[in-house]
Amino acid sequence: MKMKTLRKAVRWGFAALLPLELVLVLCVAGGVRMPPAVRAAVESAVHVLTIAATVLLALDHHRHRRGGLDHRSAFVAALADTVPAAVRKLTAHEFFLSTSFVRWAARRGPHGVRDGDLPVPYAPGQVAVTYGFLFVCIVETVGLAYLIPWPVVHTVTLVLDIWGCYFVIALHASCVVRPHVIAPDGSLRLRYGALLDIRIPADRIASVRLDRQFPSGKLAAVDEHGVADMAVAGQTTVTVELTEPVRYIRALGKPAEARTFRFYADDPAPAVAALRAGLSTDRTSGAELTDRDRDRIP
């Protein structure tokens, strides 16, 4: 009971303190002088929460070690006990977003694609939407920079707008450098930037077909029929049906399970051919791409 109460106190403490810290940083950047008492109170709260979180992490780590885990696994498990899944997922996403942006800017090629793998790009399908949204963000940034007269509000808005522009570019960059991947054995790795990474073994794939759909659900959300859509610009072009469901983690850390995946490929025919080539002989007899298949993709 004490551990549960301490864990809740640490979570709510950080949830309340982080926005306050952001406001204070922006106020200092905007030239606003903070009263010494306020600064001392915030610093004391940070120290107390840091000590409490360290103690909680150490206790959880010791508990998992007694359960038989090694040091690294125990640390990961202890971290998962305290930090909510959505926070862990978003923190990791921000990190991988930055590394993807650097890889894209340095033209280092796709991530996670080995010799013999077939990369399946999907980012070209959202270029128009992405750069249209980026244009709107830039216009908003420039417009608000001239219209807002209050220094603090001006600084806060400018920082948020610049970060928004960076986020749009980095998200697109992560989609460019992290394409879907088809391995030589026919296994499939579905991704959407740094948000999603779903691995489907070759022996789980029952059938593959060209199939243009226009789903309206959320990214990788599973409907009542066990279908998960990974649409780009509101459409998918390939449908993969499995012999049994595959479990994965959605963008905000929520686990899900799907038996059919529909995803977008900029050039779907080679992707379907590569997946079918990876199927065993008894499952691929008569499964070559036909003219009817190709006609289904306008």
Reading the block at residue 222, the tokens are 């599973």
Which of 9, 20, 4, 1 is closest to 52 using CA atoms? Answer: 9
One-letter identity of residue 206: A
Q: What percent of the chain has pLDDT over 70?
A: 82
User: Tens digits of per-residue pLDDT, 80-130?
Assistant: 777 777 777 777 888 888 999 999 999 888 998 999 999 999 999 999 999
Residue 25 in 3-state DSSP?
Answer: helix
Report the pLDDT value the prediction gives residue 27, as an integer from 0 to 100: 65
Report the pLDDT value the prediction gives residue 66, as an integer from 0 to 100: 84
Give the model's confidence band at 3: pLDDT under 50 very low, under 70 low, under 90 confident, else very high: low
For residue 278, the Cα-to-chain-centroid distance in whole angstroms is 28
In whole angstroms, what is the distance from residue 75 CA to residue 81 CA?
10
User: Tens digits of per-residue pLDDT, 174-225?
Assistant: 999 999 999 998 999 999 998 899 999 999 999 999 999 998 878 889 988 8
Mean pLDDT of 250-267: 90
In whole angstroms, what is the distance from residue 85 CA to residue 274 CA?
35
Domain definitions of the chain by residue range: 2-83, 105-177, 180-295
